[in-house]
Amino acid sequence: MNLLAPWTMPFDLPPFGQFSDDDFAPALDQSIADARAAMDAVAANQDPPTFENVIEAMETAERPMGRVASLFFILAGADSSDKREDLQREFSPKFAKYSADIAGNKALFARIDALWQARADHDLSPEQERVLMLSRRGFVRAGAQLQGAQADRLKAIMERLAHLGTSFSQNLLGDERDWFMELAEGDLDGLPDFVVQTARAAGQEKGLDGPVVTLSRSLIVPFLQFSTRRDLREKAYNAWTARGANGGDRDNIAIAKETLALRAERANLLGYDSFADYKLDTEMAKSPTRVRDLLMQVWQPAVATANADADVLAGMMAEDGVNGPLQPWDWRHYAEKRRQADHDLDEAELKPYLQLDNMIAASFDCARRLFGLDFAPVDVPLYHADARAWEVTRDGQHVAIFIGDYFARGSKRSGAWCTAFQSQARKPAVQAPIVLNVCNFAKPADGQAALLSMDDARTLFHEFGHALHQMLSDVDYAAVSGTSVARDFVELPSQLYEHWLEVPAVLQKFAVHADTGQPMPQDLLDRVLGAATFDMGFQTVEYVASALVDLAYHEGPVPDDIMARQAQILESIGMPNAIGMRHATPHFAHVFSGDGYSSGYYSYMWSEVMDADAFESFEEAGGAFDADRAQSLHDNILSKGGSEDAEVLYTKFRGRMPDAAALLRNRGLAAE
């Protein structure tokens, strides 16, 4: 099939089921060539530059390429194969070269720059002026003003970085896909039925008769929580943390070091002292100093709480007759036992109330109550049998297509994310969003209900918050649509939406037992909400440590020994020995699979400062579903995308910018 031919599927969906992997290479090659020719034509236009013949023309030139590239790279992450991995290795550098060539097109940049300098002479809307500014800034930051050898060197750097990022991702996927630990019946001690069932289902996927532990987070975390076999917990934990660090052809340590060196060189070519300075220049935080100040403001109470918790857990371990210090493979196990003791809360008791389908329905119902959205299943071809689609409407009018792909599988990279096959826009052509949430929840055995942990349910709400940002976008241009915002602002809608999961009325309605059909008892609901900040010292420390390592890597000189530098950073901040980084360097995909979160992993915390403050504004008003607050959230943040500066948007919503006080209260880390 020619993937560049018009797509005729309902709702403008990609033609799933009508193409094969063999169709991608010719379509990608042709789309790059066509886009290059169209962009050259924009640059060569002799008419005076206008918004329409420059910016809109550039969008039109790249749209066919963008459609087929989005389709390919989404599938490469959500449903990979050997063929798709080969294509990804081939085409990532080609797209990097294309981007570098366009950024280096002096005639094209001259037209953009001329339009910018004369913008007062054009009747531009505020959104058009911002799109123009962002376009010009993007060219400058991509090296449009570099000349000669410097320009050539930057192109080479960007192509190499694209190759390294792809290799990092594929190495990580390979390690996650290939490792598993078979469990004999005697190895199941302490595991509740839902973990055993998940392990058996994972074994079936591997073609085995018995249960296995894999490196899927939805399986390995409950194994570490419940298994009484300390030796097996240690083996599983070490395999989990060794992803990307096993040497050989999948050595991510060497990739990370080369990536840091190339990023530093890139920043220097563009006139910045460090890559962190370069990256943060366009974010809300603006500087590494402001990022570090926030992280340390949270780190100090978090590590104090974690150290106090470690003493308690070590005492529990000693009572069990285990000699030696508390280790990282012990923490989750004894924290779970402590949660059961302190809050009378057992995840095995809770999990049957958190059915996947009900949590999806809960996320939809909150969106209906807040924003007037309705969701109806649609029977359309999709890329995998596990994926499902819904039409999103408001007042009977089509808004978007939402696709959910929830179960872990070997062909899917780890983690959870939101992406879009198509972003909302009105110009140069009208297009409605087609949004995808990808998760890695444990797939149940045939005939069994899919059950989530509370952490899984939060992940579902988090990613759906991103999806709402995409679906409710109401702007003219895709360049500022939906999640096209500053990296340290993009997590605000997603993290804010997590709060609605813990609204008592939501759980009362949707937390229904998978076997009995009975709603969650009030006493269990009270215990769930009472334990909301349980073990928050651990959770905060493992995250902030990763963010501080990311920042230090990109702010200072490139280390000779990257793992020694990681250890040095952790020692300098007083990292507890019994807690590991959430993402150690060899599997830190946020930072090394691409530039997205490089020097930017802090952004979850930066956004949490806002999301805690934002939800407090609902509570201070009429409650979680206050209509006026919901309307303001819609009008000032969710519908605006990146059409205005993030600080302006938040101030319009809240009336001011927040400080970290609400975050510390939200995490239970504020001083009593």
Q: Are 49 and 87 found together in one domain?
A: yes
**Which stretch of DSSP H or E encloses residue 196?**
helix 193-205
Q: Are 411 and 491 found together in one domain?
A: yes
Q: Hey, which residues are catalytic here?
A: 463
Percent of the chain at pLDDT exceeding 90: 94
Nearest to 552 by CA among 265, 264, 166: 264
Tokens 């100040």 sit on residue: 293
How does 238-252 read in b/e, with b if 16+ C-beta sit within 10 Å? ebbbbbbbbeeebeb
Q: Does residue 537 fall inside a structural domain?
A: yes
Q: Does residue 417 fall inside a structural domain?
A: yes
Q: Does residue 106 fall inside a structural domain?
A: yes
Q: Does residue 666 fall inside a structural domain?
A: no
Q: Are 216 and 275 found together in one domain?
A: no
- The domain in which residue 558 lies consists of 252-345+533-593
Q: Does residue 81 fall inside a structural domain?
A: yes
Last residue of one domain, picked from the residues 116, 145, 174: 145
Q: Are 392 and 363 found together in one domain?
A: yes
Which CATH number covers residue 562? Answer: 1.10.1370.10
Q: Are 100 and 194 found together in one domain?
A: no
Q: Are 379 and 517 found together in one domain?
A: yes
State residue 671's pLDDT score. Answer: 65
Q: Are 477 and 504 found together in one domain?
A: yes
Q: Are 476 and 544 found together in one domain?
A: no
The neighbour count for residue 422, using CB atoms within 10 Å, is 25
List pLDDT tens digits, range 360-416: 999 999 999 999 999 999 999 999 999 999 999 999 999 999 999 999 998 998 899
Q: Does residue 232 fall inside a structural domain?
A: yes
Nearest to 131 by CA among 61, 59, 182: 59
Low-confidence ranges of the chain (pLDDT < 50): none
Last residue of one domain, picked from the residues 507, 530, 553: 530
Last residue of one domain, picked from the residues 575, 593, 611: 593
Q: Are 431 and 560 found together in one domain?
A: no
Residues 491 and 608 sit within 8 Å (Cβ to Cβ): yes
Number of domains in the chain: 4
Which CATH number covers residue 433? Answer: 1.10.1370.40
Q: Are 375 and 514 found together in one domain?
A: yes
Distance CA 122, CA 368 (A): 41
Q: Are 359 and 492 found together in one domain?
A: yes
Q: Are 202 and 305 found together in one domain?
A: no
Distance CA 579, CA 328 (A): 5
Which CATH number covers residue 75? Answer: 1.20.1050.40
CA 584 to chain centre: 17
The neighbour count for residue 549, using CB atoms within 10 Å, is 25
Contact partners, residue 248, CB within 8 Å, separation at least 6? none
Distance CA 198, CA 356 (A): 14
Long-range contacts of 247-255 (CB under 8 A, 24+ apart): 249/171, 250/171, 250/174, 250/175, 251/171, 252/168, 252/171, 252/172, 252/585, 252/586, 252/587, 252/592, 253/562, 253/563, 253/585, 253/586, 255/164, 255/167, 255/168, 255/171, 255/592
**Angle, helices 646-654/487-498, rounded to nearest 10 degrees:** 30
Residues 11 and 84 sit within 8 Å (Cβ to Cβ): no
Distance CA 89, CA 73 (A): 11
Q: Does residue 76 fall inside a structural domain?
A: yes
- Within 13 Å of residue 25, how many CA atoms lie on the same side as its CB? 9
Q: Does residue 434 fall inside a structural domain?
A: yes
Residues 233 and 329 sit within 8 Å (Cβ to Cβ): yes
